[in-house]
Amino acid sequence: MEILAFGVQADEKPLIQQAFRGHHEVRCLHVFLNEDTAPIAAGYEVISTSVNAELGARVLEILAAGGTRMIAQRSTGFNNIDLKVAERLGMTVARVSYYSPYSVAEFAWTLAMAVNRRIVRASTRTRDFDFRLDGLMGRDLRGRTAGVLGTGKIGEAFTRIAHGFGMRLLGWDVAENPVCRELGMRYVPKERLLAESDLVTLHVPLMPETENLIDADALKSMKDDAILVNSSRGGLIDTAALVDELRAGRFAGVGLDVYEAEAGLFFLDKSLEAIEDDTLARLVTFPNVLVTSHQAYYTEDAVGQIVDATVRNVLDYRAGRRSENVLVPRS
């Protein structure tokens, strides 16, 4: 059986091909799955998709009509998939429930340190042989407060690093993590966390309950010189409200690896095109904002684990087995 994989990055392709070798043939495409590209999957029983694939009702119907019966998504998040429609169409859906939490946690810290110490501005200057220090002053993080929204595996990994920096730790989650508590974290209401934290980082999944978790009111409650980092899902932040606060001169730095309207933009080369998204266009102009293109997970370790889990998901499907990765079981 040949499997069709959509949205495969150049660095990811050899890992996918190697992982599937000896099991199934795999055809890798760099294009992302959407309504226009879905017909390519005709005749493929199993496809693999990336986190930015569009798997709403219309795309799922096209896939089902073409013979697709299994979708193996190469990510933890699955808010892009209409699971109810997939179930109605008799399609099996699986995801990757776990991969290296350190990849995302370490990248979140990379963003935090980069905006705190003005690394992008400094690098741009030195390329022009401008070695002034004006405007490059940062702050020690030791003794300051880190607020972690979401203390699961990634939040815990972030907390361990924050503890190493000697920071005061505040947490918010539906369930307390005993490891984080042992590190000295105090669980407090979200409002208190935002008001007291010098560094706020988001590590919660995107669900109806968490959409715009950081809305206009939440942003206004934060310190004027706080650092905000989001390496989870773009929809957790009301970006238009964030732009309004940035225009008012607030926040020492904002590091974003995700954006609520990133589909159709991230992972693609848009350098020769006019960007129609005015909010994103304005966002990247602020000198205290650093935007990256959903790359926090992108390490050899994490991608290798994602690919290995995807192979197991396909093999489980073929064998009629069910694992914790299955979102919609085989009918």
170/140 Cα distance (integer angstroms): 18
284/97 Cα distance (integer angstroms): 32
- 262: annotated active-site residue: yes
Closest CA to 51 of 239, 251, 206: 206
Which one from 54, 156, 260, 262 is the annotated catalytic residue? 262
Which one from 118, 233, 250, 312 is the annotated catalytic residue? 233
CB-count exposure of residue 305 (10 Å: 0-12, 13-18, 19+): middle
What is the number of other CB atoms lying within 10 angstroms of the CB of residue 220? 13
Residues 6+ apart with CB under 8 A from 274: none
Strand ranges (E), 91-235: 92-94, 145-149, 168-172, 186-187, 199-202, 227-230
- 211: annotated active-site residue: no
Residues 6+ apart with CB under 8 A from 255: 108, 111, 112, 114, 115, 227, 228, 229, 230, 231, 289, 290, 292
- 233: annotated active-site residue: yes
Any bridge partners for residue 300, and if so which?
none
CB 325 within 8 A of CB 34: no
Closest CA to 189 of 160, 147, 226, 242: 147
Q: Which residues are catalytic?
A: 233, 262, 294
